[in-house]
Amino acid sequence: MSEVNIRNVAVLSHSGAGKTSLVEAFLFRSGAKGSLGKVEEGTTVTDYTPEEQRRKISIYTSVVPVSWQGNLFNFLDTPGYADFVGEIRAAQLAADAAVVVVSAVSGVAVGTERVWTSSEERELNRIIVVNKMDRENADFFRTMADIEATLPGNIAAVQVPIGQAQDFRGLVDLLSMKAYVWPQGDPVEIPIPDEIKGIAGEYRERLIEAIVETDDELMMSYLEDAAIEDTALAEAFYAAVRRNELTPVLLASATQVAGISMLLDFLSRGVRDITDHGLLAVEEGTPPTLGLNQPFCARVFKTTIDPYLGKVTMLRVLSGMLKPGEVILDSSQGVELKAAHLYTPFGKELKEVKQLSAGMIGALTKLTEPKTGDTLCDKIKVVKLPPINLPSPVMAIALYPKARGDEDKLSGALQKLLDEDPTLKLERNSETHETVLWGMGHIHLEVATEKLRERYNVEVETRQPKIPYRETITGHGDARYRHKKQSGGAGQFAEVALRVEPLPRGAGFEFVNAVVGGTIPTQFIPSCEKGIRSALAEGALGGFTVVDVRATPYDGKDHPVDSKDIAFQIAAAQAFKEAMLQAKPVLLEPIMLLKVRVPERSTGDVISDLNTRRGRILGMDAEGSVSVISAHVPLAEIQNYSADLRSMTGGRGAFSIKLETYAEVPAHLAQKIVEERRAAKAAS
């Protein structure tokens, strides 16, 4: 099969619009599968993992090939939940086009808007499919109005339905003005029913207007009221779709396999192939010329861990050809790789092939180095593409292994999770002594902990992460401490006097030796510093880490026999703690820079809510119909913000956070936090 016959199509939508059912219908209608799988029964090709079948949602991007009239389509079935944005972005990275599925019952949803925007950023040509036309309350025309009002661009219906909901039985093709029904699966042409003639004519006129907007020659003919032949109209239409200048809207019922063959016919002409793309942006080297007769170049869009094959590297071949045994370069990692065996995916199965050529989606096994987003290329013609752009995680859980001694096992399993999913981040917090896993939302993190249990046999307890509070001082303190231990044998003796004073926020810790006259012998000055640094980790209020303090030992005493390193460490640490208590200690909390993207109508609610969370609004910017609110908010107030924002905005809000600074906790809250910390330490 030549390269131009291959089309890679990401199937995208809000959760529940019927992506997986649509891919099943493609498989069944093309003859690739003998029966139609159902999401509810866990029998679909693409939702094959236990967690997907249990939840009855797509969690991972899965690839299935479908042959249709001399074309090979690789359909990438993606998740609908925003929690799995890494899987969605991976599919878009491998695709030539996006089929955006919209439910005829519920219309455009927040997930639809998100995948529309990200597909536009990726410069994919887009096709909208209004699915579930046979369902109760399905309404194509209401949905079409919703699409036109919500999604930007030159959008036009190419089909209108004959009947709706339980009466849905066919469609009118507006390009040819022919009507079809499908009594036995194959479309059968019929005269256009009188009930739909008027509205079909109206929608055809709207389609013609959308087409001529993309073609100057046709526009002139249209303005002059000259006749435009259907063949010229169709050619201009498909060219505009491939150039992404026009987005067509088609209709289907995936579960009834209605409209599917006509949709596949349309995709055969309306979807870009590898040679339709422009030059890609590069970080290093010359942009690769896409196509077959070029040096090899591919991008890793996904990695998985298979219990039998080990690490599986999924790649989209951009140019050239790869054969088994060839040595290539991972230019992102700077390492050479040997492609021992080559595969193409079919759901969870891998089929071994003799070559991977431009346009194909393939897989390599047992390569430990490649990561999602890496560039694989010819060793001589080196090129490096930009890394995949993924949002930062926004929600965290602390993990505690249930079984003693499982720490090493947990560490290995977590590394495998991170290899598979680059939107997960792991943090081992030295201040709270917790292993913290960050993800895109609560469902994302739930799935991650389920995988730990089911795939890697590691049971964990999850908790809300502790806030890494810190302590500092706002005044000066001066203390002297004598450490004396005499209990038979060698004794211990040391006396240290020191001052503490505050430093600017973010300055850390400073040790200044002001001892004169040898009152503390020179060899014990490092011991004093070591003791004070150990006390920094324990604090004086609630046992939190101390920051932004200068400690200055200035006097002391020693004993010619009993003074030793450990004695001066203890004396200096205790003197530091006592001086801290004199210096008006305060509690500090992490302050996050929060950026919230919401529809304009939700702006007031979000700002009011942030004010109740002790937030300080920094500003607001408009990006089209979206407002971006920036604020400083304490981390303690937004640990569950993901669910709260979803509730406030009907799922249309998104946010990012990053640590900005530390600030003083209000006194009434600080007292409660310190009391809880002391009680917890006493109980442990």
| Ramachandran region, residue 310 (left: φ > 0; alpha: ψ -120 to 50; beta: rest) | left
Q: How far apart are CA 472 and CA 483, in angstroms?
A: 25
- Please name the residue that has the structure tokens 């859980």: 397
| Residue pair 79/43 in contact by the 8 Å Cβ criterion | no
Taking the C-alpha atoms of residue 16 and residue 116, their distance in angstroms, rounded to an integer, is 16
Distance CA 61, CA 19 (A): 11
What tokens does 556 get? 């002391």
CA-wise closest residue to 471 among 541, 367, 519: 541
DSSP label at 34? Answer: S
| CATH C-level class of 588-669 | alpha beta
Domain with CATH 3.30.70.870 in the chain: 395-463
Q: Rounded distance, CA 219 to CA 221, Å?
A: 5
Across the chain, which has 684 residues, the per-10-residue mean pLDDT values are: 72 93 95 89 88 89 94 94 91 94 92 90 94 96 94 95 95 96 85 95 95 90 84 93 95 94 94 81 87 92 88 94 95 94 94 94 93 94 91 93 86 92 93 93 93 91 95 96 82 95 94 94 96 93 93 95 93 96 96 91 93 95 83 95 88 88 94 88 76
- What's the DSSP call for residue 664? E
Local structure of residue 301 (DSSP, 8 states)? E
Q: Is the dihedral angle over the CA atoms 656, 658, 664, 668 positive or is it negative?
A: positive
Read off the tokens for 489. Answer: 């044998």
* R_g over Cα of the chain: 32
DSSP helix/strand/coil, 519:
coil
For position 4, what pLDDT does the model report?
Answer: 46
DSSP string, 436-501: EEEESSHHHHHHHHHHHHHTT---EEEEPPPP--EEEESS-EEEEEEEEE-SSSS-EEEEEEEEEE
Q: Please give the CATH number for the structural domain made up of 3-276.
A: 3.40.50.300
pLDDT in tens, 207-230: 999 999 998 889 988 888 888 888
Structure tokens at 574: 């205790």
Long-range (24+ apart) CB contacts under 8 A made by 632-636 are: 632/591, 632/592, 632/593, 632/594, 632/660, 632/661, 633/591, 633/592, 633/594, 634/589, 634/590, 634/591, 634/592, 634/663, 634/665, 635/467, 635/589, 635/590, 635/591, 635/592, 635/659, 636/467, 636/589
The model's pLDDT over 257-269, given as tens digits with 9 standing for 90+, comes to 999 999 999 999 9
Q: Which amino acid is at 311?
A: K
Fold of 471-583: Ribosomal Protein S5; domain 2 (3.30.230)
- Predicted local distance difference test score (pLDDT) of residue 489: 67
Instruction: Tell me whether residue 559 is exposed, middle or buried, using C-beta atoms within 10 angstroms of its C-beta: 0 to 12, 13 to 18, 19 or more.
Output: middle
DSSP state of 276: G
Q: What is the pLDDT of residue 3?
A: 45
List for the chain the helix, strand, coil content (%; round to 5). 30, 30, 35
Q: How many CB atoms lie within 10 A of CB 521?
A: 14
- Return the CATH number of 297-377, one of 3.40.50.620, 2.60.40.10, 2.40.30.170, 2.40.30.10: 2.40.30.10
**CATH number of the structural domain 395-463:** 3.30.70.870
Which residues are paired to 451 by β-bridges? none
The string of pLDDT tens digits covering residues 373-383 is 999 999 999 99
Helix (H) or strand (E) holding 356: strand 356-357
Domain with CATH 3.30.230.10 in the chain: 471-583
Contact present, 285 and 318 (Cβ < 8 Å): no
Q: Start-end ranges of CATH 3.30.70.240 in the chain? A: 588-669
Alpha-carbon distances of 255 from 29, 40, 389, 487, 621, rounded to whole Å? 11, 12, 34, 84, 43
**What's the confidence (pLDDT) of residue 276?**
79
Contact 377, 297 (CB under 8 A): yes
Give every CB contact of residue 340 below 8 A, 6+ residues apart in sequence. Answer: 324, 325, 364, 365, 366
Q: What's the 3-state SS for 55-105?
A: HCCCCCCEEEEEEECCEEEEEEECCCCHHHHHHHHHHHHHCCEEEEEEECC
- Which residues in the chain are classed under CATH 3.40.50.300? 3-276
541-586: pLDDT as tens digits: 888 999 999 999 999 999 988 899 999 999 999 999 999 999 999 9
Helix (H, G, I), strand (E, B) or coil at 297: strand
